[in-house]
Structure 1
Amino acid sequence: MPNLTENVMSEDNITIEYYRIFMEPFESQKLFEKYTMIVVLTLFSLIIVIGSLGNLLVILTALQRRMRNSTNTLIIGLACSDLMFLTLCVPITAIEYVFPVWILPVWTCKLVYYLQHATAYFSVWTLTLMAGDRFLAVCFPVGSMSIRNSKNATMALMIMYTVILLSQIHVAAGHNIYHYFFIIENRSTCAMEKIAMGTATVFETRFYYFSFNIFGYLLPLGITCILYFCMLRRLWHSSRPGGYKQPEYNKDGCPRLTNKSESTRAKRKATKLISIVVVIWAVCWLPFNFVSTLSGIVYPQTLAQVWGKFATVGTIAAQVLAYANSCLNPILYALISESYRKGFITIIVFILKKCGISPWQCCLSHLAEASTVDASFHRDRSHYLNANCKAKPSNSVSAKTSSIRN
């Protein structure tokens, strides 16, 4: 009997130790992943809906005849790359947070990460082209008139897309479905196979991560900053008294009689819009590039192995912030650019009319409700003031009465 009791107790100790070592961390991780999935899916859904509708409005507005110029052509290119990213990459990335295994075909793994890298390059280099377009408009307004047109802007976009798509083939080739065992569960994910398995050299790994940091962030952002520095210096000198003002000419080569202050103001507005878009892009993608740099530094370890759940939360936050940039540009256009704001309103009114909804009746009903509430508030306030006046005379009336008596 003593031996039987000892065996039972030892089995209980083994069960408790097994739960403490394996099951407790597994259940904790599953709970963490559940909350992460809810938050990420909510944010991704908002990003997809707002970004898709917003970028569609941008494309439809910029395609109007009165909006056709080189700057708006580049804005269309930026909106198209954001729209492609939102519809093809973000939904499939969201699926990774729902299932612990990769449920899609292998080719989707390669395609998603290929397009993810390509669209990120599309966005930043389109912003660089936009900065170059603004640089020519501000610093060489006459000499660049024959260059700055929609046709040349479209050609520049096509060349840029071709170069980027060819340069990212290695990303599609290197990605594959990576199978691994997590505590008691078989899992799989889409990743750079050699890096995930730990068979890649340090040079290969850092080349993969750092090349994105350099060619997808630092280099285009540095070129953009230099161009904007030259533009701001030119705009500053042209606005000073006695500053040089280059004459403007029409298509016939005759001097154009325009208001210089209006021309400078229009250039400043366009430059301000593009510069804010660039700054927002740089801020949104900075954490993602920082995480990418750290991943290359700590290899062959992973960030999760070094810093645990803190690294996981930071990586997810950086990813969400980078993805959110694709839905922010239309909001910036609506807030800063009057022409885009009017274009958005025109398209929305047109869609509401097609759906049988009168936008004016909606506005009038809201105004009527507001005026009713406002009128009732003022009526109640006037009743309250009248009651107070009857109960107690004001100081001014008392002063006048005393002065008359005296």
Structure 2
Amino acid sequence: MALSNLGLAALALLRQIEPVVVLEQLGSTLFDTALQMVVKDRCANATYPGTLSREDSQQKAMSDFYMVFNLIVKLTPILPALLLAWFGDRGWRRLPIVVPLCGYLVSRLVLLLLVIFQLPLEVMYGAAVLFGLSGGFCAFWPGVMTLVSLGSTAADRTKVMMRVELLYGAAGLVGSLVSGHLFLLYSSSLGNGTVLLAVSVLLAVLCLLQPIFLLQVKQECNSEPEDHCQLLPPDSRNTPAEAPVETDKANVALLFAAAILYTSAVGGAVEILGLFVLKEPLGWTATEVGYGNAAGCMIFVTSYLGVMVFRRFVSDVMIILIGMISFASGIYFMSFVTATYMFYLARSLNLFALTPLPTIRSLLSIQVPESSCGTTLTLMQLALKFAGLAYIPAFTKIYQATLGWFPGFVFTLASIITVLGMIPISVFGCRSPQRRPNERI
């Protein structure tokens, strides 16, 4: 009987969205470390006219590759993601998840073949195109958030979304810690990274099979008993908890503006951070890169714990502002990092840096009707992708131009943009009545 109950519990767990998130992030962290180290190896002998040092040439070659690669990844998913969101809002909720996972699998296979057969690094541009045409993260994450949103009440939506972010970060933490060690393992003398990428491919296969055969789509009834509503404090009852019949366009625009500015700051800084740690005086190895990525994933855990604590005392808008301040302070300190211990000190200031976007998505989901929730979340993700078309080349060129005198200047710029992102979310807070923290009845 006990084994039967255990089996039923395991099956019930596998029918949730959380295993998909965990498997995908585990595979992604392994892939990211492998790609970072492969790019470093392939760009080791790069030369640029007028460049003073070999290291600066390598940094420019790596940043040029990532600029093109990331632009492809952000540009190509636009139409596929919209199409998948359209199908998702018409009942095909699994489609925005399954199709992008096919793209994840293909990109990992291409990198594995590149390492085994010593193919040119430019082959990864083709992998980026295929990944983008599948919808990529632009379709996958809104699909996940839509299922989470529909499966939770409006009152608990922020908490549930942050729980998914917590699992995402915890999986990334585990994957990052082992990725550097796996990269150094050899497989049949094929070279570094083959074992790491083989494991990443296997995880991608398992991740794809789960939503195809096991994932269950359910929708939580958001209606609350009338008696319970009467027990709530008057101010809480006056705050709309459910999705409105019509969209509040002004609030949606403010949330979009805040998300775009914040994502531009975070995305631009993180893109350069992966190159910055490979440059002297840090000069990280594969193992240290994995540990550094693990420190970044640890922020998912601390952000989740922060939300669980803060939501008892402050509004969602204040949670967003706390997260923005956390990132702005940490990334500003990163501008002056010259040793590994300083990197971790700067990262420690980013404890709550991941609270803004999930909370913004939660607020956005209750500004629109449920019938357009998936499309709206996807439109936000696409807006963030379009922002990437501007901030990726901008941050890359600024980094290349400041390599000689202040390599950390881009981090100071990211801090300034984050402060600007606090303006629209503050206006949103003034326009919208905020739910009070939970009170003892």
Interval containing the TM-score (normalised by the shorter chain) = under 0.3
Higher relative contact order (CA 8 A, sep 6+): 2
TM-score using structure 1 length: 0.26
Q: Which has the higher helix share?
A: 1
State the TM-score, normalized to the length of structure 2: 0.24
Q: Which has the larger radius of gyration?
A: 1
